[in-house]
Amino acid sequence: MESATTELTRLPGLEVAETKAEVKPEHWIERGPSKRLMLFSGRSHPALAQKIAEKLGIQVGDVTLRTFADGNTYCRYEESIRGSDLFIVQTSSPPVDQHLMELMIMIDAAKLASAKRITAVLPLYPYSRQDKKSRPREGITAKLVAEMIQTAGADRVLTMDLHAGQIQGFFDVPVDHMTALPMLAQYVRDLGLP
């Protein structure tokens, strides 16, 4: 006699496909014994993640991201990320709220898949202009975003040109705040503009 569990797995929509997570060598950089650097992208700007991967000489990792009919987001890493140093690239392009939530779900899924360290790469930090109370009854949304990223499980944040440097203080995890100003200044100098 078959068990109730076996009968349930045969019901439509409840089938469980046998899968084995493979480690794809072209998707990571060896950083010493048993240390891998891997790069994944959300749906906000896959072309940016692809360019970063090309500079690193790797491929963007395989992740399934879907939006259900009710608007909920689904995330599943399609390869083993156990013990890896994981970088998740997600910009805050419109729709900002949807891309921000997708980042949280990706970080959470990576944490549950036993990634060793998760770095959220946010070239444009969402809600960075709401870094203080300008008027009564306003929220400090930049701090809320920092708390959400940390709660999801990010170990580090890499961002560029924050609206105000104080946003780094909203985090309890390390923040790498880079600036493009020297590169832009050099570009203008190279153009020979007055």
Per-residue HEC secondary structure of 23-62 comes to: CCHHHEEECCCCCEEEEEECCCCHHHHHHHHHHHCCCCCC
16 within domain boundaries: no
58 within domain boundaries: yes
Give this prediction's pTM: 0.78
Q: What is the CATH number of the domain that holds 29?
A: 3.40.50.2020
Domain housing 104: 21-191
70 within domain boundaries: yes
Residue 114 falls in which region: left (phi positive, over 0), alpha (psi -120 to 50) or beta: left
68 within domain boundaries: yes
Residue 8: what pLDDT?
47
DSSP letter (8 states) at residue 89: E
Mean pLDDT of 96-121: 97
10 within domain boundaries: no
63 within domain boundaries: yes
Least confident interval from 63-67, 108-112, 118-122, 174-178: 174-178
76 within domain boundaries: yes
Q: Is 19 helix (H, G, I), strand (E, B) or coil?
A: coil
Burial class of residue 48 in the structure, from the number of CB atoms within 10 Å of its CB (0-12 exposed, 13-18 middle, 19+ buried): middle
pLDDT in tens, 132-162: 888 899 988 989 999 999 999 999 999 988 8
Compute the distance between CA of residue 124 and CA of residue 174 in angstroms, rounded to an integer. 17
46 within domain boundaries: yes
pLDDT in tens, 4-22: 444 445 555 556 555 556 6
Is cis: bond before 95, omega within 30 of 0? yes
Q: Are 40 and 88 in contact (CB under 8 A)?
A: yes
Number of domains observed in the structure of the chain: 1
Asked whether the predicted pLDDT for residue 177 surpasses 50, the reply is yes
